[in-house]
Amino acid sequence: MTPVLYSFRRCPYAMRARLGVAAAGITVELREIVLRDKAPEFLAASPSATVPCLVLPDEVIDESIDIMVWALSQNDPGGWLDMPASGYDLIAEADGPFKQALDRTKYTTRYPDCDPAEERGKAHAFLHRLNDQIGEQAFLFGDAPTLADMAILPFARQFAFIDKARFDAEDWLSLSGWLEGFLQSQRFTSIMPKLAKWQAGDDPVMFPFDQG
């Protein structure tokens, strides 16, 4: 059985999963889910009813980091798993306090009791730390990407596009270069195709696509 990856193009968690699967070169059937109209097959498969969800012959993985680690544990030609333990700490902070501040900055109407300026400040503090970590390097831990880079970049992208002009005007040149390099890369382009909503009976869409 070919693994099935339920995904949603713009979701940063799903981007993570697609990045990991593509880096590992593992072929999956990619099924695009519409979050406001979730396919019954997806709801039956995913314990959390959230994307991404990877269905394997003997298990279901529905946490984005777990999907990345599973894929790279099969094959890791880029050495993404070869990073210091502090990389996992950065991922945990990105998934916790940073994502919380991001959501409260982006979706202000959902959090009427929160101060958007204060939340933006919390997010900026984390991003400035990433900027300092990158420094003169291309990536967080040197001249090659690791799991931490590829797990955090989709969320840095999401934050940047809340107000791209403001993001670009901030004093974090290293961070901006890191993000822009990712956005302009063939790797990013290859995981962002526009697909129609998946329905049972559709011809399978095999992923990863050619990365050139």
Averaged pLDDT, 192-196:
95
Q: Are residues 117 and 173 in the same domain?
A: yes
Structure tokens at 7: 């995904």
Q: Are residues 93 and 184 in the same domain?
A: yes
Q: Per the domain annotation, does 99 fall within a domain?
A: yes
DSSP 139: B
Q: How far is CA 182 from the centre of its chain?
A: 12
Residue 33 has pLDDT above 50, yes or no: yes
Range of the domain at 16: 4-78+192-207
Q: Per the domain annotation, does 212 fall within a domain?
A: no
Q: Are residues 39 and 93 in the same domain?
A: no
- Read off φ and ψ for residue 18, nearest 5 degrees: -65, -40
Q: How far apart are CA 207 and CA 198, in angstroms?
A: 14
Q: Are residues 117 and 184 in the same domain?
A: yes
Residue 211 has pLDDT above 80, yes or no: no
Q: Per the domain annotation, does 68 fall within a domain?
A: yes
Structure tokens at 148: 């931490």
Q: Are residues 92 and 184 in the same domain?
A: yes
Averaged pLDDT, 161-171:
97
Averaged pLDDT, 167-183:
98
Average pLDDT, the chain: 96
Answer for the pair 106, 162: CB distance below 8 angstroms, yes or no.
yes
Q: Per the domain annotation, does 147 fall within a domain?
A: yes
Q: In 3D, which of 62, 64, 69, 66 has the Cα closest to residue 38? A: 62
Q: Are residues 102 and 123 in the same domain?
A: yes
Residue 212 has pLDDT above 80, yes or no: no
DSSP track, 54-89: EE-SS-EE--HHHHHHHHHHH--TT-TT-S-HHHHH
Q: Are residues 183 and 93 in the same domain?
A: yes
- pLDDT value of residue 209: 78
Q: The domain that contains 63 carries what CATH number?
A: 3.40.30.10
Q: Are residues 145 and 59 in the same domain?
A: no
Q: The domain that contains 150 carries what CATH number?
A: 1.20.1050.10
Q: Are residues 175 and 196 in the same domain?
A: no
Phi-psi region at 79: left, alpha or beta (left = phi > 0; alpha = psi -120 to 50): left
Task: Say how many domains are in the chain.
Answer: 2
- pLDDT value of residue 165: 97
Structure tokens at 70: 């599973």
Q: Are residues 120 and 169 in the same domain?
A: yes
76-89: pLDDT as tens digits = 999 999 999 999 99
- pLDDT value of residue 182: 98
Q: Per the domain annotation, does 64 fall within a domain?
A: yes
Q: Per the domain annotation, does 22 fall within a domain?
A: yes
Averaged pLDDT, 40-68:
97
Q: How far apart are CA 2 and CA 155, in angstroms?
A: 29
Averaged pLDDT, 194-203:
96
Q: Are residues 144 and 198 in the same domain?
A: no
Q: Are residues 171 and 105 in the same domain?
A: yes
pTM beyond 0.85: the answer is yes
